[in-house]
Structure 1
Amino acid sequence: MTQMTRRMALATMGAALATPAYLEKAHAAEVTLRVAHFLPGVAPMQTRFFDVWAKEISDASEGAIEFQMFPAMQLGGKAPQLADQARQGISDISWTLPVYTPDRFPVAETFALPFMVRNAEKTSIAMHQLMEEFGQDEYRGLKPLAFHTHDGGKFHMRGQRINAAEDLKGLKLRAPNQATGEMLTLMGAETVFFPVTEMVVGLSNGVIDGCCLPYEVVPAYKLQELTTVSNEPEAGGRGIYCNTFSLVMNERKYEGLSDDLRKVIDDHSGADLSRRLGAQFDEFEAFGRSMVEKQGNEIHTIPAAEIERWREMAAPIYDTWAKKLEDAGLDGTAIVARADELLDAQG
């Protein structure tokens, strides 16, 4: 060993011995959490939320918690299986939609009824409160981290303007959930339901004429290239529909963490995270709309008076949903009324 090499080795050893204990901990992860979801890795949900949130938790834990991201169902299976993947330990954390498994999480689905949305932030605040009051038993085996929604959906069509319910008659539409599908069927549309991941094929091959989705989905699936007209409700009232989301963690994994690491997870979940997710989805919505405008697609406004007529047509759906909740042993009338009250309280 040359004198120079010996000096370098001694210097390296000295630096290692002098490294503070907290820096050593910061580089030695105690637990790695696998996060699974269905959107592409380039989607804003990954790049602007999950990546940022993961870093915040890693920093707060001084590196004791690290994450592995598995977007686009990279752990296998299909989107409706995400909640079960977290329960079974295939993933440690899953982000999923209750509507992908209809009637299984009925309280969490309640805000997916037609016209139960303002913007995403306000509706997410209301949803989290509803779940705290009525939905605590729905996610057994899982640790709920947040509940939220997206902004109200719009009709993205391959060429059709929608001014009235009659314009939907005979159109083949991808329905975003069962309750909205029932409403569209009442208005004469022919509806099909499949996960958003399969929507591109349906639009490309003409199986459907359009879909009802928020603008935030546009960039991930290049929806602006598959449709030419986006029909949105006149501003000021409630939106047509929203879907609800659950961010859930394997309960055993959570309980197996040390007290200090559970506190880090707790500090980065709950009502504040639900509100934050809703606010971010409002940002995603604005960006998605800008992509439609940049493409040169038409953005058509559905008159407020017509939307009110649709709300009246949808009234029986609320009664049916309340009955469904009651059949599940819940106070359906109280849950639907409370959801409406919480939404109104958001202004």
Structure 2
Amino acid sequence: MPVKTMLAGATALALISGASAAQEFNLRLAHWVPPTHPIQPLGIEPWIESIGEASGGRIDVTIFPAQQLGAAPDHYDMTRDGIADIGYVNPGYQAGRFPIYSLIEIPFHANNAVGGAQALHEWYAAIAETEMADVKFCIANPHDPGTFHSKVPIKVPADVDGLNVRPAHATMARFVSSLGGGPVQVPAPEAREVIANGMVDAITFPWNSIYISGIDSETRYHLDMPFYISAQLLLINKATYEGMPADLKTVIDDHCTPEWSKRFSTGLAENEASGRQKMIDDPEHILYLPTEEEVQAWRDAAAPLVNQWKEDAAAAGVDPEAVYQSYIDALERHDSRF
């Protein structure tokens, strides 16, 4: 079944009005990156196609990319409120709102996105109702571990002092602040603008997204280690899901599994990882591989983030030690522990 990407304006309205009557549910999926971003052809579209096949064409999904239905930080609320039936959400864009989930944003936990996706899904599915009860949790989609990319060399934590940095999410913003840097937090679609116009000196991003976003001309120096992840979620409006007959709910449930999170994330992870080799092969880019002592210095600098997370998780009403250990156990089960 072909996948439809919705265009803005009159064309979009024409496509909606021409939807096949045989489709019992024509769902709107909103995301905030361009339709050419690898997550759409490598993750979202195969997932949609599989749902269409499994439902015998009774579930159709139209994609609204590039913030067409709303700004990137608003995608959770858009999904909750039914502006989108399915939302591709970065919880880290809303500081403090999802304190339990923010554990995955702390550096030095997951070292890959393939096993990491399955581990993250298994861990969070059991506790998602604690802080995301007004949507249906479906897919976990971490990117390949990202790192610092900068206009000046960053080798050790002290090098961040005095720099303005675009962090990936609220946890990295807190980390940058703890190192003496100034976080300038904007969603990924706006990242190139802030570094190109001189507002920031460095950015935390996965490798190939530097090329995808055109930031490769702005950052010459790269810290060569799997530093942190950001993990998007595919969430479903509860009313949409609950309005389906039992057999179609089963189709959706079968596409909201740890195995599907792994499958959904694999193509993007491989694409992101490819950017590192491009930089190795490009004499304009300089990668710095930290020594064991320097890695330990970074780990020591990030350690207070775990303690702060445990305080926040306890305030959210969960046992932080048990929840933390369950995440570590899941990463170890899937060979994705740093």
TM-score range, shorter chain: 0.7 to 0.9
Match of 1:90 among 61, 83, 103: 83
Contact kept? 2:100, 2:316, Cα under 8 Å: no
For 1:41 and 1:203, the matched residues in 2 are separated by 23
Q: Which amino acid aligns with 1:38?
A: W
Q: CA deviation at 1:337?
A: 2.9
Structure 2 match to 1:167: 159
For 2:48 and 2:164, the matched residues in 1 are separated by 40
For 2:302 and 2:287, the matched residues in 1 are separated by 25
Contact kept? 1:93, 1:247, Cα under 8 Å: yes
Match of 1:287 among 268, 271, 274: 274
Name the count of aligned residue pairs: 315
Unaligned runs of 5+ in 2: 1-19
Aligned to 2:141, what secondary structure does the other structure show?
Answer: strand
Structure 2 match to 1:133: 126
Contact kept? 2:162, 2:181, Cα under 8 Å: yes
Q: Is the deviation greater in 143-152 or in 291-300?
A: 291-300
Q: Which amino acid aligns with 1:150?
A: H
Would you say 1:31 and 2:18 are equivalent positions?
A: no
Contact kept? 1:149, 1:243, Cα under 8 Å: yes
Q: CA deviation at 1:291?
A: 4.5
Q: Which amino acid aligns with 2:300?
A: E
Aligned to 2:32, what secondary structure does the other structure show?
Answer: coil
Structure 2 match to 1:17: none
Q: Which amino acid aligns with 1:34?
A: R
Q: CA deviation at 1:321?
A: 0.9
Q: Is the deviation greater in 82-91 or in 261-270?
A: 261-270
Structure 2 match to 1:272: 259
Would you say 1:322 and 2:310 are equivalent positions?
A: yes
What pairs with 1:59-78 in structure 2 (closer than 5 Å)?
Answer: 59-75=53-69, 77-78=70-71
After superposing on structure 2, the runs of 4+ consecutive aligned residues of structure 1 that deviate more than 4 Å are 293-296
Q: Which amino acid aligns with 1:335?
A: V
Contact kept? 1:112, 1:177, Cα under 8 Å: yes
Structure 2 match to 1:55: 49
Aligned to 2:162, what secondary structure does the other structure show?
Answer: coil
Match of 1:100 among 93, 97, 104: 93
Would you say 1:344 and 2:332 are equivalent positions?
A: yes
For 1:191 and 1:80, the matched residues in 2 are separated by 17
Q: Percent identity?
A: 30
Match of 2:287 among 289, 299, 309: 299
Q: Which amino acid aligns with 1:173?
A: V
Q: CA deviation at 1:85?
A: 0.6
Q: Is the deviation greater in 243-252 or in 222-231?
A: 222-231
Contact kept? 1:163, 1:303, Cα under 8 Å: no
Match of 1:155 among 132, 148, 151: 148
For 2:211 and 2:141, the matched residues in 1 are separated by 20
Q: CA deviation at 1:68?
A: 1.0
For 1:244 and 1:109, the matched residues in 2 are separated by 10
Q: CA deviation at 1:29?
A: 1.4
Structure 1 match to 2:107: 114
For 1:189 and 1:41, the matched residues in 2 are separated by 33
Q: Give the root-mean-square deviation of aligned CA atoms.
A: 2.0
For 1:141 and 1:206, the matched residues in 2 are separated by 40
Q: CA deviation at 1:294?
A: 6.0
Q: CA deviation at 1:191?
A: 2.0
Contact kept? 2:154, 2:222, Cα under 8 Å: no
Contact kept? 2:144, 2:270, Cα under 8 Å: no
Q: Which amino acid aligns with 1:72?
A: A
Match of 1:145 among 138, 141, 155: 138
Aligned to 1:230, what secondary structure does the other structure show?
Answer: strand
For 1:80 and 1:166, the matched residues in 2 are separated by 30
Structure 2 match to 1:231: 223
Contact kept? 1:121, 1:282, Cα under 8 Å: yes
Contact kept? 2:51, 2:252, Cα under 8 Å: yes
Structure 2 match to 1:249: 236
For 2:167 and 2:112, the matched residues in 1 are separated by 20
Unaligned runs of 5+ in 1: 1-25, 234-238
Q: Is the deviation greater in 326-335 or in 40-49?
A: 326-335
For 2:236 and 2:110, the matched residues in 1 are separated by 26
Match of 1:181 among 173, 183, 201: 173
- 1:64-109 Cα distance to aligned partner (Å, 9 max, x none): 111111011111x211110111111111100111111122222222
Aligned to 1:103, what secondary structure does the other structure show?
Answer: coil
Q: Which amino acid aligns with 2:30?
A: A
For 1:337 and 1:56, the matched residues in 2 are separated by 34
For 1:228 and 1:180, the matched residues in 2 are separated by 21
- CA distance 1:263–1:134, change in 2 (3 Å): closer
Greater gyration radius: 1
Q: Which structure has more helix as a fraction of its residues? A: 1
Q: Which amino acid aligns with 1:289?
A: R
Aligned to 2:155, what secondary structure does the other structure show?
Answer: coil
